[in-house]
Amino acid sequence: MATAAEPAAAEPEAEPEAGRRADGEEDAAKAAETRGKASSRAVAAATNTTPGPGWDRPEEDVSESDGDEEFAMASSVESSLGEYEWEYDEEEEKNQLEIERLEEQLSINVYDYNCHVDLIRLLRLEGELTKVRIARQKMSEIFPLTEELWLEWLHDEISMAQDSLDREHVYDLFEKAVKDYICPNIWLEYGQYSVGGIGQKGGLEKVRSVFERALSSVGLHMTKGLAIWEAYREFESAIVEAARPIAAFLSPFDREQTFDSQLEKVHSLFRRQLVIPLYDMETTFAEYEEWSEDPIPESVVQNYNKALQQLEKYKPHEEALLQAEAPRLAEYQAYIDFEMKIGDPARIQLIFERALVENCLVPDLWIRYSQYLDRQLKVKDLVLSVHNRAVRNCPWTVALWSRYLLAMERHGVDHRVISVTFEKALNAGFIQATDYVEIWQAYLDYLRRRVDFKQDSSKELEELRATFTRALEYLKQEVEERFNESGDPSCMIMQNWARIEARLCNNMQKARELWDSIMTKGNAKYANMWLEYYNLERAHGDTQHCRKALHRAVQCTSDYPEHVCEVLLTMERTEGTLEDWDVAVQKTEARLARVNEQRLKAAEKEAALVQQEEEKAEQRKRARAEKKALKKKKKPRGTDKRRADEDDEKEWGYEEEEQPTKRRRVENSVPPAREAQDMNVDLGPTGQCAPMDVDPPSKQKEKAASLRRDVPRVRHDSSKDGVTVFVSNLPYSMEEPAANLRPLFETCGAVTEIRPIFSNRGDFRGYCYVEFEEEKSALQALELDRKSVEGRPMFVSPCVDKSKNPDFKVFRYSTALEKHKLFISGLPFSCTKEELEEICKAHGTVKDLRLVTNRAGKPKGLAYVEYENESQASQAVMKMDGMTIKENVIKVAISNPPQRKVPEKAEARKAPGGPMVPRQTYGARGKGRTQLSLLPRALQRPSAAAPQAENGPAPSLAVATPAATEAPKMSNADFAKLLMRK
């Protein structure tokens, strides 16, 4: 039909177009051709009807209307397919661009794990089988692949295997897979695949070899080892059942050689399995009883009961693993400790392997495993395999590389292999400059042990010297360029080189040259460096060079010059002449005089700085006093004097209880709403409010503040700390804090009360207490910490009395080195969290990102980014450090914040005429208005400051002190009367 011919004719045009899109690649051209043929078949199927009686009618019998309908149908189908192909091509082009980007990224940094995974996924999606095979091979050379990646690769290769060569290739892949991790599923897949090749030469032996290796590897696995045993046993049982029909026709000799021997293999598998403590052992024992025609031997029953007893010992650890969530590191550590006490090497190795499957990125676990193998088993292939897997999983950990080099040397690995391993370590991307120094030192130690120093010159000695030179150049160029430091400020590598030249090569000239270089790198001011050089000269040099070294040390040392001078005088006293002694005394006295003069000048300078600070503090104090004096002059007179006196009385009454700090426990409760009759509202004759004058906002605010001043103070009940949270850093301008905060905290649970804190004048102090009905609501409210409220980050912390819990810390962020977290500085203030997260996601999985802000919620240009593991963090440092964001050059480093300073406790001081009392503590602004004491000296009594709690003063004791009973609070009028009596 004509409609079927149209897409067929359009077919040749689609092929060159697809070829141009694929840049002439053969695979893409074939794919385009296949799509073109599929399109033509689809159009033909859509336009032709099912064959019937009129199928072979000539074309002229078809009416014109039928032809138009067919043409319209074909056109619509063709257009829909064209749109689909256009969308498909657009998606394909997008994937190709992403593949090119990932390949370029890997060309820059081949240790980007996530980039490898994404590239393999896209290539597999596009059907690029050759490229995806190459990508998988490259990744497997650098990283151990997970169980999922290996199974996906194996299934793809199995589906494409056609002949014996392909089967051998799959076998090779299985061998690589079982070396990365001990995975029961991969071993099971390996055994089942080998069964498929039983018809080939040596196929039966191959199957049994695979299953035997699987049993030795994972047969002790208590939860997953059962599947391997059952698969092996089912295979051998199938052979028995296949031989059973012909067994009756065999001679006794042939029967014993074939059928009976095969039957014994099944018996042997049952007996071997029942000796090992595995889950569901009872079912296996019942199955053996049912299968066996003879009674089970007593020895097998005894071994089975013994295995059941062992299973009960292991069950608590296995159940802990089943109940815990991945990665279950703590549970595995406890299980490892348990196995270590028992001491079975096979089970210890298995539990380590099980732990590493889920915790392959934990360097300490690899170190512990490799250390056990190095000290206990000492099997070369096993030890080197574990070390190799360790550095492939955690290439950023220098300790693993150093241990790997030692293990290779210990087991006599070829020198070229060790050198190649060292070069891989240099390219692993360590996160600290000191790591490079450590790996260089480990390799240099290995080269030093290869040298036979009895010979004057050898190939090994020349290689050692060349490597020392290369190490110094590498630290100076590569490491300093990346970290802005060499990582070796004390020049330990050069010191070791100098010792080798002096002690082992008897080349003091070279050693002196090296020490001169060490001193020129900023080490000449340290006494210990000069004394190290002096000891080297004493052991391998001569007295003249020792004297020169000490004379230079006297002139250059700045940290401990007295000690260097003493060493020089001691040497001259025992070995020197009179002239040498006079010169030494003269130089040491002159040097010590200069040092004392410098120290005196430094002390005077420091005293002058202290005096300047005291003068500035005095000036600030006078300025505050003058400002307060001006405020007092502007106070209202006459009728307002009584109100001012009342304010003064309030300040005198509550000065000791309420300090102007946000961490108080003395609280003001929010005044309840007044009823109409309490507010003296005039009601009209109709019962409605009579019209009244409305005060301006300023007077309304003053009235509200006066109402809050009249509310009695309510102390915090410490028994309710468990259901109470302390909320701070709220806006001071917030009106009705309780009403505004209640909807926010009611999302966490039922709120009993919100108590905002007000000053003596009725102003909101920016913090409050929120009391819930249930403790779980208070714990949930802590998640609101740092939530923005009216443009400021609200701080929510537990309500804890620090006098009872001195070790309680509110600061929730870590202050230790976190290798999986980055610290970014220099960010533009306009950079948002979403923008920064988009940049960081390109280098790994971002678990958390925090922009640092000040108390007002304004950004400070700093951020902390937490990645999934140390490898991603180290890669992000290399890629992002020095990056430009919105014209700002940022700095990126591993998070290592300084330790937070612990506030010093107030020192006890002894009051005149009284016992030792703690020093009075005040808020951030001092005592407040009442700076000068108006109490006569004759009436003064020592008073102890209230103990400070985490969020405010602790509640006062119920028993009053004698001083408090003798000196009650008095007003200004009382003081005036006292003065008038005198």
Segment 258-286 shows an average pLDDT of 92
Enter the tokens of residue 750. Answer: 């039922």
* Residues 654 and 930 sit within 8 Å (Cβ to Cβ): no
DSSP-derived letter for residue 48 is: S
Place of tokens 């962020």: 813
Q: Does residue 53 have a cis peptide bond before it, meaning omega lies within 30 degrees of 0?
A: no
Higher pLDDT: 197 or 716? It is 197
* Residues 803 and 745 sit within 8 Å (Cβ to Cβ): no
Of 148, 2, 134, 132, the closest CA to residue 71 belongs to 2
Other residues' Cβ atoms within 10 Å of the Cβ of residue 156: 16
* Residues 855 and 729 sit within 8 Å (Cβ to Cβ): yes
Strand partners, 683: 689
Of 155, 99, 160, the closest CA to residue 125 belongs to 99
Higher pLDDT: 394 or 682? It is 394
The vertex-897 CA angle with 893 and 898, nearest 5°, equals: 135
Segment 125-137 shows an average pLDDT of 90
* Residues 362 and 329 sit within 8 Å (Cβ to Cβ): yes
CATH numeric code, 821-894: 3.30.70.330
Other residues' Cβ atoms within 10 Å of the Cβ of residue 222: 22
Note whether 336-414 and 721-798 share their fold: no
Mean pLDDT across the chain = 78
Q: What does residue 359 show for φ and ψ, rounded to 5 degrees? A: -130, 45
933 burial type by CB count under 10 A (0-12 exposed, 13-18 middle, 19+ buried): exposed
DSSP-derived letter for residue 405 is: H
pLDDT value of residue 759:
85
Q: What does residue 834 show for φ and ψ, rounded to 5 degrees? A: -65, -40
SS3 of residue 485 by DSSP: coil
CATH numeric code, 336-414: 1.25.40
Q: Name the pairing type of β-strands 888-889 and 891-895.
A: unpaired
Options 3.40.50.150, 3.30.70.1150, 3.40.190.80, 1.25.40.10; CATH for 92-335 is 1.25.40.10
pLDDT of 490-544, one tens digit each? 999 999 999 999 999 999 999 999 999 999 998 999 999 999 999 999 999 999 9
SS3 of residue 824 by DSSP: strand
Whole-angstrom distance, CA of residue 496 vs CA of residue 494:
5
Straight-line distance from the first to the last Cα atom of the chain, in angstroms, rounded to the nearest whole number:
131
pLDDT of 714-727, one tens digit each? 667 778 888 999 99
Whole-angstrom distance, CA of residue 947 vs CA of residue 274:
68
pLDDT value of residue 707:
59
Side chain identity, residue 802:
K
pLDDT value of residue 231:
95
Segment 703-731 shows an average pLDDT of 74
* Residues 398 and 438 sit within 8 Å (Cβ to Cβ): yes
Distances (CA, A) of 907 to 457, 558, 921, 922, 981: 69, 35, 11, 14, 39
Whole-angstrom distance, CA of residue 489 vs CA of residue 526:
12
Segment 83-98 shows an average pLDDT of 74
251 burial type by CB count under 10 A (0-12 exposed, 13-18 middle, 19+ buried): exposed
Whole-angstrom distance, CA of residue 492 vs CA of residue 485:
14
903 burial type by CB count under 10 A (0-12 exposed, 13-18 middle, 19+ buried): exposed
Higher pLDDT: 454 or 420? It is 420
Q: Percentage of the chain surpassing pLDDT 70?
A: 72
Q: What does residue 108 show for φ and ψ, rounded to 5 degrees? A: -85, -45
pTM: 0.59
SS3 of residue 412 by DSSP: coil
The domain made up of 721-798 has a fold known as: Alpha-Beta Plaits (3.30.70)
DSSP for 337-354, written as a single string: HHHHHHT-HHHHHHHHHH
Strand partners, 825: 891
Of 885, 901, 892, the closest CA to residue 821 belongs to 892
pLDDT value of residue 918:
42
849 burial type by CB count under 10 A (0-12 exposed, 13-18 middle, 19+ buried): middle
Q: Alpha-carbon Rg of the chain, whole angstroms?
A: 43
pLDDT value of residue 543:
92
pLDDT value of residue 977:
63
User: Residues with Cβ < 8 Å from 430, sequence gap 6 or more?
Assistant: 396, 398, 436, 439, 874
Neighbour-count burial for 285-297, b at 16+ CB within 10 Å, e otherwise: beebeeeeeeebe
Place of tokens 């070995």: 575
Q: Which helix (H) or strand (E) holds 851?
A: strand 846-853
Q: Is the pLDDT score of 601 beyond 80?
A: yes
pLDDT of 222-251, one tens digit each? 999 999 999 999 999 999 888 888 776 777
User: Residues with Cβ < 8 Å from 925, sequence gap 6 or more?
Assistant: 660
Of 957, 920, 953, the closest CA to residue 663 belongs to 953
Neighbour-count burial for 604-640, b at 16+ CB within 10 Å, e otherwise: eeeeeeeeeeeeeeeeeeeeeeeeeeeeeeeeeeeee
Q: Name the pairing type of β-strands 764-772 and 751-758.
A: antiparallel
Greatest mean pLDDT among 321-335, 689-703, 888-902 lies in: 321-335
* Residues 729 and 792 sit within 8 Å (Cβ to Cβ): yes
pLDDT of 879-937, one tens digit each? 888 888 888 889 898 888 766 555 544 444 444 444 444 444 444 444 444 444 444 55
At residue 968 the predicted structure's pLDDT band, cuts being 50, 70 and 90, is low
The domains of the chain are located at 92-335, 336-414, 527-621, 721-798, 821-894
Whole-angstrom distance, CA of residue 789 vs CA of residue 803:
30
pLDDT value of residue 523:
92
pLDDT value of residue 136:
94
Higher pLDDT: 606 or 654? It is 606
369 burial type by CB count under 10 A (0-12 exposed, 13-18 middle, 19+ buried): buried
DSSP for 229-247, written as a single string: HHHHHHHHHHHHHHHHHHH
Whole-angstrom distance, CA of residue 321 vs CA of residue 306:
23
pLDDT value of residue 497:
96
Q: Is the pLDDT score of 41 beyond 50?
A: no
